[in-house]
Structure 1
Amino acid sequence: MYIQRLILEDIKEYQNFFPVLLISGARQVGKSTLALHLNIDNYITLDDINMYEMAKNNPKGFIESLDKPVVIDEIQRLPQLLISIKEYVDKDRINGEFILTGSASLQGFKEISDSLAGRIGIVELYPFSLKEKNQSSDNIIDIFSKDLDKYLLTKYENISVEKDIID
């Protein structure tokens, strides 16, 4: 079962403004699953050894050969691919062409990330929020205050204030 992520609207907005979008976050927070639900037909994962080898051996040719828009999952496995993405974007800047996912922050490849300045939007994905888990529109105050009186007063419903507490 896929759980709709609240950040999806932000991602769609970023796609309208940047040619490259990075969905970053810790391991196992759902970056790949989210990317699969972006309605982008071309999905490449660098966990696939064949894709990895093609991208590693000819990064420029690999990027040019991909149908766009494209999701490239696990970009941290081959950070030098970002240089070829930059070159491609600089030739014909079209927003939303590259969606990248990665567990490592681009801060880790500082010299490469600097070259993508102005071309990349970065969205940080966190573990599910309570709202996402419950698929509820309630905020945290609503959740905790729901039926609060019922729970607080249950223990004392048979107590007469005058007789049992004051005496």
Structure 2
Amino acid sequence: MYQRQSQQKLIQLLQQFPAVGLLGPRQVGKTTLAFAQKALYPDALYLDLELPSAQRQLDDTEAFLMAHAQQLVILDEVQRMPELFGVLRGVIDQRRRMGQASGQFLLLGSATGVLLQQSSESLAGRVAYVELPPLQATEIFTGTHSVADLNALWVRGGFPLSWLAKTDADSMTWREVFIATYLEKDIPALGPRIPATTLRRLWTMLAHHQGELLDQSKLAAALAISGQTVSRYIDLLCDLMLVRRLPAWHGNVGKRLIRAPKVYVRDSGLVHALLGLSSLDAVLGHPVAGLSWEGFVVEQLINAASQAEASFYRTSNGAEVDLVLTFRNQETWTIEIKRSSAPSVSRGFYQAATDLGPARKLLVAPVAQTYPMKEGIEVVDVMTAIRWVTEQNQSNS
């Protein structure tokens, strides 16, 4: 098992809060990480709420949970039983009075919107959250690695079974099945009545337009549905942690700012599967290659900067930067991402840097070593950028 970056935070929060929510898409490793916690709590109880047998044990939820009052109770796919949240508050308070102030419940879920809404209403002040993304480069490559290794992660994405597949073809097959299962089983189980073919077409269109500004009217026209419906479908994909809306930077710089968000399919392997690209050669030969690489790096850096506010910057006169990270001390970093081994930045990046006054200006590219450019720009490889961002994030925690 890979050492997940979220594990230490999960351990700390279980020692501090009565309930912790571990959020992430399906097949990302939540259950594996939960069982690692179970080893630290030998008498912990695990229930998979997708199983009818587990649901039957909770027919009298309060009585069952109080019968295990001194144990950590792990509830997997907790969004399947939303009625639980109304009971958990009272049980948590009863167990507190019995002396168990923390480490009562570990709630695993793959739909953030459902969980956050339900728990914020019922468990305010009693629950903390940890997001588990697909495997990150720093979790896989803990020592030396080659350019080919990083390219393989980019092509396959970070879902463990996709990354660990024996061949690219096996990896592609896993991702195709994953996508089909989400569309045909998982999403309908959450309640939305959405035609699977329509949602797949939208998801594929988002992959084609990876990292571009969201144009709901264009998507709606192509799918023959309303803009409101497109917005609702994208909301759902974001709730499932499959798509990211990256907001535009907001602030007062006396410029006319672009306000529409950029949209990314969060896992690069899913981008390539949706577009039928099963190998590095196929990806590099496709027009989406540059923006797919950008999305891959954006996800790596945002996950490394868990305490920072992430956005992008673009004005109507052409000033732009791919990623802006604003850390808790209000220090701002501007980050441009290029696929080229001999990268350069546009005039728009210099304009954006003048507008924002960042503490650091990074140009992230597949280069062999770090080197400076004019006006304080630092050209860095992906792993170095992740390390620098992680260090800055930790110093502001």
Which residue identity is paired with 1:59? T
Q: Counterpart in 1 of 2:33?
A: 34
Cα deviation digits, residues 9-34 of structure 1 (max 9, x gap): 10011112110000011121111111
Q: Distance in 2 between matches of 1:35 and 1:112?
A: 19
Q: Corresponding residue for 1:65? A: 67
Q: Per-residue deviation at 1:92?
A: 3.1
Query: Do residues 119 (structure 1) and 122 (structure 2) align?
Result: no
Q: State the SS of the aligned residue for 1:145.
A: coil
Contact 1:80–1:112 (8 Å) recurs in 2: no
My pick for the range that moved more, 60-69 or 15-24, is 60-69
Aligned to 2:142: 135
Aligned residues of 2:82 and 2:118 also touching (Cα < 8 A): no
Q: Distance in 2 between matches of 1:8 and 1:21?
A: 12
- Greater shift, 116-125 or 84-93, is seen at 84-93
Question: Unaligned regions of 5+ residues in structure 1, if any?
Answer: 147-167
Assess, with a 3 A threshold, how the Cα gap between structure 1 residues 129 and 111 changes in structure 2: closer, same or farther.
closer
Structure 2 residue 13 is matched with structure 1 residue 14: yes
Q: Is the 8 A contact 2:77 2:108 kept in 1?
A: yes
Q: Which amino acid aligns with 1:61?
A: A
**Superposed CA RMSD:** 2.5
- Pick 1 or 2: higher relative contact order, CA cutoff 8 A, min separation 6: 1
Q: Mark the CA change 1:137 to 1:14 in structure 2 (over 3 Å): closer, same or farther.
A: farther
Q: State which structure, 1 or 2, has the greater radius of gyration over its C-alpha atoms.
A: 1
Structure 1 residues 70-120: Cα deviation after superposition (integer angstroms, max 9, x where no partner): 211111111211222211111232211111101111x32525532201000
Rounded to whole Å, the distance in 2 between the matches of 1:28 and 1:134 is 20
Shift in Å at residue 4 of structure 1?
A: 1.4
Mapping 1:70-149, distance limit 5 Å? 70-93=73-96, 94-105=101-112, 107-108=113-114, 110-136=117-143, 145=368
Aligned length: 142
Name the counterpart of 2:333: none
Q: Distance in 2 between matches of 1:99 and 1:133?
A: 25
Instruction: Classify the secondary structure of the residue corresponding to 1:43.
Output: strand
The residue type equivalent to 2:9 in the other structure is D
Query: What is the one-letter code of the residue matched to 2:56?
Result: E
Give 1:154's aligned residue: none
2:79, 2:114 within 8 Å by CA — same for their partners in 1?
no
**What stretches of structure 1 move > 3 A for 4+ residues in a row?**
135-138, 143-146
Percentage of identical aligned residues: 30
CA 135–68 in structure 1, closer or farther in 2 if over 3 Å, else same: same
Gaps of 5+ in 2: 146-300, 302-363, 370-397
TM normalised by structure 1 equals 0.74
Q: Secondary structure at the match of 1:8?
A: helix
Match of residue 178 from structure 2: none
Q: TM-score, normalised by structure 2?
A: 0.33
Q: Distance in 1 between matches of 2:144 and 2:111?
A: 31
In 2 relative to 1, CA 65–24 (structure 1 residues): closer, same or farther, beyond 3 Å?
same
